[in-house]
Amino acid sequence: MQIRIVCPESCAYEGEAAFVALPSTDGEFGILPRHASEICTIDRGYIRVCDKQMGTVDHTFAVDGGYAQVADDVVIVLAERACDLATVDADKLKADIQGFEEKLGNLSEDDARCAYLYNEIAWCKLMLAQ
């Protein structure tokens, strides 16, 4: 089966898969070849892709919500943003978190920019958690 993870600016991943695990808003679910057609919403979490066989995770992607469609042995994920965890620079993410927290310290509690900064901190921590 094929999987594509597409973000607004780019295609984060495209390839063959023997098994895919998605973090849907109804809970994580797995997809094998010949899965029934389905459309679901994706929650913030991890997409795990097994290239050759189920149980051997070859790629893990952090995703920040979106939608997934399964049809005709093709899984298409439309994600707000996605990151291959193999490419994560932990030191940079920790520095980013520190910078966001410093900016939060300079804002009042009711400043609209707080929500953005909290979201960025959560995204960085998601990429560090794996």
Beta strands in 1-130 (DSSP E): 2-6, 11-16, 19-24, 27-31, 38-50, 59-71, 74-79, 82-84
Q: What is the pLDDT of residue 49?
A: 97
Q: What is the pLDDT of residue 94?
A: 94
The pTM score is 0.89
DSSP state of 32: -
Cβ contacts of residue 17 below 8 Å, gap of 6+? 1, 2, 3, 49, 50, 51, 75
User: Could you list the pLDDT tens digit for every one of the 130 residues in the chain?
Assistant: 999 999 999 999 999 999 999 999 999 999 999 999 999 999 999 999 999 988 899 999 999 999 999 999 999 999 999 999 999 999 999 999 999 999 988 888 778 888 899 999 999 999 998 6
Q: What is the pLDDT of residue 34?
A: 93
Q: What is the pLDDT of residue 104?
A: 87
* Residue pLDDT, tens place only, 94-123: 999 999 999 988 888 778 888 899 999 999
**Look-up: residue for tokens 């189920």?**
54
Bridge partner list, 122 = none
Q: Please, how many CA atoms are within 13 Å of residue 76, restricted to the half-sphere of its CB?
A: 8
Domain positions in the chain = 2-85, 89-129
Q: Architecture of 2-85 per CATH?
A: Sandwich (2.60)
Q: What is the pLDDT of residue 130?
A: 67
